[in-house]
Amino acid sequence: MAAQLFYKTSFSSIYQKGMIPASNKIVQLILSYVKKKTNGQTLETAVDVGCGTGRYTIPLAPHFTKVLGIDISESQINVAKQYNSADNVSYMVAPAEKLPLKEASVDLVTAGLAAHWFTFDKFASEAGRVLKTKGCLALHSFYPTIDIEYKDLSHELNAVMSEVREILYQYLDKRVHKHMFDQYQELFEAVPLKDKEWIPNIPVTSPMSISDIMRFIRACYMFQAFMEKDALKAEEFFKTTQEKFLKIVGEEADSAVLNFCMKYYCVLACKE
């Protein structure tokens, strides 16, 4: 099962180094929503569920008295603790479906690139239990298809990305990714809170070098699943892909900054 990869220490390290950095645009969207719903009152507690290595946990620290990152994977939590840079952030191993928090004790429950892995009805029930009145729920992720823009070479670069998708999509967890492909619409409909909104198609562009892109490919659980099935073939695919990118960009390859264009989506809800 693909989810088991997240329990491996070796994968958690690769994931931390290669996954796309947190989007400030998405973080600000969530914070604006929370501040609007809470009428600007002091925000005490935020909980990042399925926090992984803490990429979306740390940006919450300046805005809350305390922030708790929760993940079911001990190896992900260990890496998160290693990279923790905020005194008011702590981490805990726990399942999304049984949050170790008191009823009505939390201002924000958030999950970034994670809710599609949860048993969602149980998680949503738990989120509703721990949220204060006017507390908020925020779920977000990005569409699995990513485009690259760079000068007049975008078409060639995206042809390579299409080849990458064709190979890696063979290792998709289809049960999980149906939620990513419908931009969380089904999860939005399943949220039991009445005051809610769904925001699809949020454009986010991240500057990436070719090395960054290759680290991202290696950090995808689909590539790691490929590695488990046939390590030699996976490494050959990785090497060939990198060579194609380098050849397309040419002499500028070492210094080139490419635009990694993603389509995010967000589910926001408030407990009445």
What is the CATH T-level fold of the domain 2-270, as seen in this structure? Rossmann fold (3.40.50)
Taking the CB of residue 99, how many other CB atoms lie within 10 A of it? 22
Domain boundaries, the chain: 2-270
Confidence (pLDDT) at 177: 80
Q: Which of 262, 272, 68 is nearest to 183 (CA)?
A: 262
What is residue 196's DSSP assignment? Answer: E
Walk along the chain (272 residues) and give the pLDDT tens digit of each residue.
466 778 788 889 999 999 999 999 999 999 999 999 998 889 999 999 999 999 999 999 999 999 999 999 999 999 999 999 899 999 999 999 999 999 999 999 999 999 999 999 999 999 999 999 999 999 999 998 999 999 999 999 999 999 999 999 999 888 788 999 999 999 999 999 999 999 999 999 999 999 999 999 999 999 999 999 999 999 999 999 999 999 999 999 999 999 999 999 999 999 99
**DSSP one-letter code for 54:** S
**In b/e form, how buried is each residue of 198-219, taking b as 16+ CB within 10 angstroms?**
bbeebeeeeebebebbbbbbbb
Q: What is the pLDDT of residue 94?
A: 97
Amino acid at 7: Y
- Looking at residue 3, its pLDDT comes to 66
Q: Coil, helix or strand for 218? A: helix
pLDDT at 2: 62
Q: At what angle do helices 221-229 and 154-168 cross, to 10 degrees?
A: 50
Longest CA pairwise span in the chain (Å): 59
Q: For residue 10, what pLDDT is reported?
A: 84
Q: Give the distance from CA 56 to its chain's centroid.
A: 8
CA distance readout (Å), 15 to 86, 100, 101, 199, 222: 20, 25, 27, 27, 12
C-beta separation of 52 from 14 below 8 A: no
DSSP-derived letter for residue 38 is: T
> Exposure of 272 by Cβ count < 10 A (0-12 exposed, 13-18 middle, 19+ buried)?
exposed
Q: What is the pLDDT of residue 267?
A: 98
If you write DSSP's letter for every residue of 194-208 in order, what string do you get? SEEEEEEEEEEEEEE
Euclidean distance between CA atoms 211 and 246, whole angstroms: 10
Contact call for residues 131 and 191 (beta carbons, < 8 A) = no
Q: Tell me, what's the pLDDT at 127?
A: 98
3-state DSSP assignment of residue 120:
helix
**Cα distance between residue 260 and residue 213, in whole Å:** 8
7-50 tens-digit pLDDT: 788 889 999 999 999 999 999 999 999 999 998 889 999 999 99
Residue 80: the pLDDT is 95
